[in-house]
Amino acid sequence: GAGVSQTPSNKVTEKGKYVELRCDPISGHTALYWYRQSLGQGPEFLIYFQGTGAADDSGLPNDRFFAVRPEGSVSTLKIQRTERGDSAVYLCASSLGRDEQFFGPGTRLTVL
């Protein structure tokens, strides 16, 4: 596809479970970003990849959150021991270096 894709579109899980959220960036985009958008708020930065490495993970709220991008393309955001406060829309974006970011449709995570 031409745009950023994210799977699943919706994820419902129980408190304490582990979840993985996937992002497929636009082909050739070297930079990849994860944001979290809580209800009624703007997106908040979580982590940024340049190629395979996490260039900035200062937005990750705690050590339950982890993200990888092993081949410099697809990225997975991993959340361990989920809590109800983790419920939000998780947005992924990609860009060609420092240019405009293109966003995916997001994954809506609900922790019961």
Partner 1 sequence: AQKITQTQPGMFVQEKEAVTLDCTYDTSDQSYGLFWYKQPSSGEMIFLIYQGSYDEQNATEGRYSLNFQKARKSANLVISASQLGDSAMYFCAMTQVPLYSTLTFGKGTMLLVSP
Residue numbers at the binding site for partner 1 (CB under 8 A): 31, 33, 35, 40-45, 48, 50, 55-56, 59, 89, 91, 93, 95, 98-106, 108
Minimum distance from residue 1 beta carbon to partner 1 (Å)? 13
Rg (CA), the chain: 13
Minimum distance from residue 20 beta carbon to partner 1 (Å)? 20
10 vs 80, beta carbon nearer partner 1: 10
Are 11 and 108 spatial neighbours (Cβ–Cβ below 8 Å)?
yes
Helix, strand, or coil here: 53?
strand
Are 105 and 92 spatial neighbours (Cβ–Cβ below 8 Å)?
no
43 vs 73, beta carbon nearer partner 1: 43
13 vs 50, beta carbon nearer partner 1: 50
The Cβ of residue 16 has, within 10 Å, a number of other Cβ atoms equal to: 10
Minimum distance from residue 97 beta carbon to partner 1 (Å)? 8
The Cβ of residue 3 has, within 10 Å, a number of other Cβ atoms equal to: 12
